[in-house]
Structure formats: structure tokens, C-alpha cells
Amino acid sequence: IGVVGFTVAALTYVALIARGVAMGELVLAGEQWAFVALLTVSGLTALTRIWLPIVYDAFELAGRPRELPAWLMDGARGWLIPAGAGVAVFIAGLLLGRLVGIIPADPALWLPGSVGSELLRYFMVSVTIIVVAVPEGLPMSVTLSLAYSMRRMTASNNLVRRMHATETVGAATVICSDKTGTLTLNQMRVSAIGFPALGERPMTRLLETEIEGWIAEAISANTTAHLSRQPGEPIRMMGDGTEGALLLWLELGKLDYIQHRNAFRLINQLTFSADRKYMATLGQSAVSGEIVLHVKGAPEIVLDQCDSVLTPYGVESISAHREQIDAELLDYQRRGMRTLGFAFRRVYDPDETDLEALAEHLIWLGYVAIADPIRPEVPPAIQACRTAGIKVKVVTGDTAETAKEIARQIGLWDDADEQDAYAHLSGRDFAALDDQQAREAVKHVKVLSRARPMDKMRLVNLLQENGEIVAVTGDGTNDAPALNFANVGLAMGSGTDIAKEASDIVLLDDSFSSIVNAVKWGRSLYQNIQRFILFQLTINVAALGIALLGPFIGVQFPLTVIQMLWVNLIMDTFASLALATEPPHNGVLQRPPRKASDFIIAPLMSRRILSLGAVFIVVLVGALFLIRQDGLITDVELSLFYASFVLLQFWNLFNARVMGRDASAFSGILQNRAFLIIALVILIGTILIVQFGGEIFRTVPLDAGQWIAILVLTSPVLLVPEALRLLQSRRAGAAAA
């Protein structure tokens, strides 16, 4: 834009000088032209800080980038050095010119005042062209769109913490989603139990026996969650949802977890780790009075550390029971349940405190299967993502069978995926792949089970290396690295403060469907910015073309400096306000996400800008040419020209509103009151300027008939595209039918 604007401004300046000479408005002697040349050279030297970067931009556009001189971009030096050089060039040229006799000795003869005023006027017009060419409202449009979308996204349960994420989430190509709380309701309840020592006893019928004591202690002492009991309110879980479900199960069995927890004399505790996949607590048991280590975690991990099992008949070797335990666990996992294993051992050395070393040769106590229902809105949200070209990957710490079953329930996994070796990977398998294999694997993987924090982090990095824009959901402290390094981090509202701090957006309702809403807002925001660019650059192309061609058809200033600045103000600033507040539509979810490398001015936009701008230039310059054929142009005709120029842009504002859609320019317009108000302000403001602008705006009042004629003659700018959109919409409807 800078290169084009500067080039057109320079050409317009030259054209105005050529016209002034041809029309006899600039009559100078040879010595005076030498002074004008000196003035021009010294002026350009003093303004090097302005035009030289644009020249370097031209080299870059031509595919031959050059590095700007360091001094030029060095704050005050970048301005003072060219200014000093310009003064030096002027003084040296003046002295040299006087010595060789090409510049008059008398300063009064250097340049006539009238010619100097005219040249200054030409220069002001050229500078104005540069001002008009640059869409100053673009930064404001971007900021307004971001701020408006942030506010509206909060209403749809997306609390945006970093403004840029509002748009970036719309460009997401992959969503790496946590399972618990995002895809499921996070309403965990114990659905089945498998404690061999209990036999066939119903899961809610627990007694104060030694066996029940071991189970109650294994859950109560080796857990950090709590239950909140407020009078008149249902019991609430505080802490991890899985552990809370265990405590609720004890409540159903009429066992008080607080009593059992307080009775256990804690010595040391190893908190749960996503790498170890288990938690361990050492202390003096109230059941046997011995020092005991309780272990709770992933069943396959805990089972591998067990030598024996507690049965109704005492402790037996686990080998005879292992096959049945594995089969039961697999059955529950295939039904999408989360399973937890429990084990313990007696510790005879009270000085031994290395819990990881102690977590061997354990006695298997049993397992629980915990159900967490799928959120009803998730399957359609997953389908919406797939329609929008967004790949979804489930990353969870659960077992492979549980993770795949959840993926199947939400519509992400089908039987065909079983044939793809990379569609599902465990964290251990993923870590075993080298970078080249993993980079290829992440293109196919849909489910990553038993994932550790570093697995999630590596997945994000490899996807980004493949050119993907990655959004990551998470709620725990371990998710913070992946949330931080993802293009967009989405933390759960119920998650930890560390996860929220590392995120860009907080999902207040923990729901995956809120991510789809965020994507819709992000894509619509990007389109709003494109709409403004389309609208503004069309005006700029028309204004630049008219300013450049005007002198060649005998009209020195088709638009005055004040008129161009006013058009730039109302069309640039007000239009950015109108288009920035355009609400989203579901059509944005029917297209694939934009590529990160895409230029914001899409090829279709470029064609529309140039073609419509060319149409405006032909129509307006043609009108000027026809008016010029009748002789002198009057103020009435110039007022008609100015009003027509603004009204053409006014109608085009409605076209820009539905860019990329086949809908009518008036569909849903009542939902955007800001657009309606601004459109009326532009229309009424134009009428007032023409009617009362006077000499300042070079306008004279027009009568009602002239205004009606202008409105009618400029309306095809809206009516023709409107008819084409209607025809296209009907064709699309017929094709769909």
C-alpha cells in the first residue's frame, strides 16, 4: 500500500506540474526552474527517512530484499541526518548555482510567490493521496474486532485472557482435547468394584470388618480430595474428581472417610504423577497397627508391582487370579470407564522412606470402575469441527480401551481406524518413536492414551512443525507446558490456577462445544477485518485513480484535499466501526481453516478490489470527461461529482458486509444496530457536507431532484451484486435439494 500510494502521489505531482506548464499556470524562466530543481532535490534529501523505506519495500515486493541502513532506523539520527543533509544540499546547490550563474543573485527572483503557492498546493495534494492510500482505520478495526469478539465470547463461556487468541483460535487446524471434563461431564461415580476379598457382596453394602477396613483406609488415607457438606446443600467434591468419586462411594457404604483418614498416622506421601501413574502413602495402619504402604493408580502399573492378592481366605499368589482381573478390567475399559487399582504392603523397616523403592512386592486389594458420562453436546460439536476441517485428537491419561471407547462415543473413532497403526498410540509407544516417525505419526493419530505431560508437549511441537495451528485443552498443572506452547491454550474453568495462567482462553463451562463457538467467533473476526480491507482499498483505488487521471482530462483537482481527508475519515474510521461489529454466522464452519501462510488479501478479494475500483474510476472519470466537454466545470457539477463518489462507496459498504456469503446484504441487518446507525451517519453526513460545506468543502447545495438522481444512479453498485447473490443462493439451494 505504501509503495502504490507513494508512486501514485509522485506521478500525480508530476502530472500536476505538467498540466500547470501546459495550461500556462506555471510560467518560469530557466534560472527559476533550476531553483525549483534544487528545492526538490534538497527537499527529497531531507525527507529520506520517509521515502527510502518505501523504496526498500518495493525491492522486497520485487523479490530482491535489501537491508535498510542501520542509521536510518535509529530514532533521532534517522531524522536528523537526512534533515541536515537536505539543508547542506540546498546551501551548497545555492552557492554553486550562483557561481555558475544558473540561479539569480536576487532572492526575490528565485521563485514567484504565485508559483510557489501552486507548487505547495500540488505537494499537499500528493501528501493527501498518500494519507488516503493508507487505511489508517485498519489497526483500529483489528483492535475493535478483537475487543468486541472478546466481550461476546465471554457470554458464550469463553473467557479470553490474551486478545490475539480471539483470532488465532479461528485459524486452528488441530484441537488436542483432554477427556475428563471437556468431552465428559466430569461427574464421576463408582460404577463397579472388583475387590476379591469382598466376593459377591453388593458394591454399596460395606461393613465394619477388617477387609472393609483395608479398603476404606486404602481410599481415605491415600487420597487428597475432600467432600464438602453444607447444610441444605448436596455433597460437593473438592479436589480431584476421580478421588472425590471414591469418597462418595464410601459415603454410600455408610463409611466415614474422615474417621479412617484421621485414624491413619501419616509418615510420608508420594503424590500422583502422570509419569509414574500411581500415588503412594506410608503410615501406621489403624486396621492392623503395622506400618503400611498404600498404592493407588493405573491398574496395569499397580498389578505389575503385585506378587499376591487379598482374598476372603487370606493372601494368595496373584498368578491364579491375574487373567480374570485383566479380563474384568478390559471389559470395563471397553465400556469407556476409568479404572483404578489398589494395593498395599506391610513395611517392617520403619526407617525406609523411599516410597518408589517400597512400591514393589505389593498385595493386590482390588479395583474400581468409574463412569463419567459423555457431554450430550460433544458429538455434534465434534462433527462440526470435522465439517470445518479441524482435526480433533483425544489426549488422555486413561487406558487405551477407555480412550478409544470415549472417542467412539463422540463420533471420532470408527472400525476403520483399527486398521491404522498410528490412529491410536500409547504414551510409551509415542515416546519410543524417533522424531521422523513421530512427525509422520501425528498426522494420523486420533487417540493418545496413557499420555504423560511430555508426550502432550511433544505432540504439540511436532504438529506445529508440520505447519498445523494447534489448540490444546487442559485443566491440571501438568498440562501447563502444552497450554503455554500451543498456538491457543484452552484451560478449563474448573482447572488449576497454573493451567489458567498458562492458557489464552478459559472455558468457563469446561465444554468442548464452547471451543466450537470460539472457532466461529475467531473466523468471523478474521472475515470482518477482510471486509474492512476490501471496502477501504476499493475506495483507495478509486480515489488514487481519480486523483491521478484528473489532470489529464483537464480537471486539476477532482477531489480537494479537504474532501479526500473527509472521505478518508468517515469511510475509514466509521466503516471500521460498522464492519468490526458484524456478528458471526454458521457459514464460517462450512469451510476449512485458513492457512497460516495465507495473505490476508485473498485472490478473490484482490480481483474485487481492482475490478470494482476500476469500474468506479471509469464511471467517475467518464463523468468528469463528459462534463469537461461542455466547457468549464461549475461548482454544482463538482458537488454532484463529490456526492456521487461518496454514495458509490456508501452502497459498496453493504456489499462488503456480506463478503464471502451468498446472503442478501440486508439479511440479519437488524441484529447489527451499529452498522445501521453508522450507515445513516455516513449518508446524512454527506448530505449535510454538500448542502452546508461551502467554500471549505468546495460544494454548493443540491436540490431534492438531484439527490434522488444521485441515489438512483449510484444504487446499481448494490443492486447488481445483490441480484447475483440471490441467483447464486437459489442455485445453491437447488443443488442441495
Distances in Å between the Cα of 99 and the Cα atoms of 96, 105, 560 are: 5, 9, 41
- 197 burial type by CB count under 10 A (0-12 exposed, 13-18 middle, 19+ buried): buried
User: Which amino acid makes up residue 319?
Assistant: S
User: Which among 575, 593, 590 has a CA at the least distance from the CA of 531?
Assistant: 575
Q: How many CA atoms lie within 13 A of 278 on its CB side?
A: 25
**Which residue among the candidates 57, 106, 178, 635 is catalytic per the annotation?**
178
42 near 87, Cβ under 8 Å?
yes
Report the run of H or E that residue 411 belongs to, with start and end.
none
Q: Kindly report the backbone phi and psi dihedral angles of residue 294, in degrees, each rounded to the nearest multiple of 5, phi listed first.
A: -100, 135
Q: Kindly report the backbone phi and psi dihedral angles of residue 474, in degrees, each rounded to the nearest multiple of 5, phi listed first.
A: -175, 160
SS (H, E, C) 31-97: HHHHHHHHHHHHHHHHCHHHHHHHHHHHHHHCCCCCCCCHHHHCHHHHHHHHHHHHHHHHHHHHHHH
Q: Kindly report the backbone phi and psi dihedral angles of residue 32, in degrees, each rounded to the nearest multiple of 5, phi listed first.
A: -70, -35
The question of whether 240 is a catalytic residue gets the answer no
167 near 600, Cβ under 8 Å?
no
DSSP letters for 579-644: HHTPPP-GGGGGSPPPPTT--SS-HHHHHHHHHHHHHHHHHHHHHHHHHHHTSSPPHHHHHHHHHH
| Range 620-656 burial, b when 16+ CB lie within 10 A, else e | bbebbeebeeeeebeeebbbbbbbbbbbbbbbbbbbb
| Distance separating alpha carbons of residues 510 and 518, to the nearest angstrom | 13
- By three-state DSSP, how is residue 285 classified? coil
| Range 232-241 burial, b when 16+ CB lie within 10 A, else e | eeeeebeebb
- 475 burial type by CB count under 10 A (0-12 exposed, 13-18 middle, 19+ buried): buried
Longest CA–CA span in the chain (Å) reads: 124
SS (H, E, C) 658-672: CCCCCCCCCCCHHHC
Residue 707: other Cβ atoms inside 10 A = 17
As a dihedral over the C-alpha atoms of residue 185, residue 187, residue 188, residue 190, rounded to 10 degrees, the angle is: -130
Show contacts of 145-153: CB within 8 Å, 24+ apart. 145/525, 145/528, 145/529, 145/580, 146/525, 148/580, 148/581, 149/521, 149/522, 149/524, 149/525, 152/521, 152/583, 153/505, 153/517, 153/518, 153/521
Only one residue has cell 478479494, namely 605
614 near 546, Cβ under 8 Å?
no
Q: Pairing mode, if any, of strands 470-474 and 424-426? A: unpaired
User: Which amino acid makes up residue 270?
Assistant: L
| Distance separating alpha carbons of residues 433 and 421, to the nearest angstrom | 13
| Distance separating alpha carbons of residues 247 and 80, to the nearest angstrom | 74
| Distance separating alpha carbons of residues 411 and 392, to the nearest angstrom | 11
| Distance separating alpha carbons of residues 389 and 171, to the nearest angstrom | 10
| Distance separating alpha carbons of residues 544 and 284, to the nearest angstrom | 86
Beta bridge partners of 340: 368
Q: What is the DSSP letter of 319?
A: G
Which residues are part of the catalytic machinery?
178
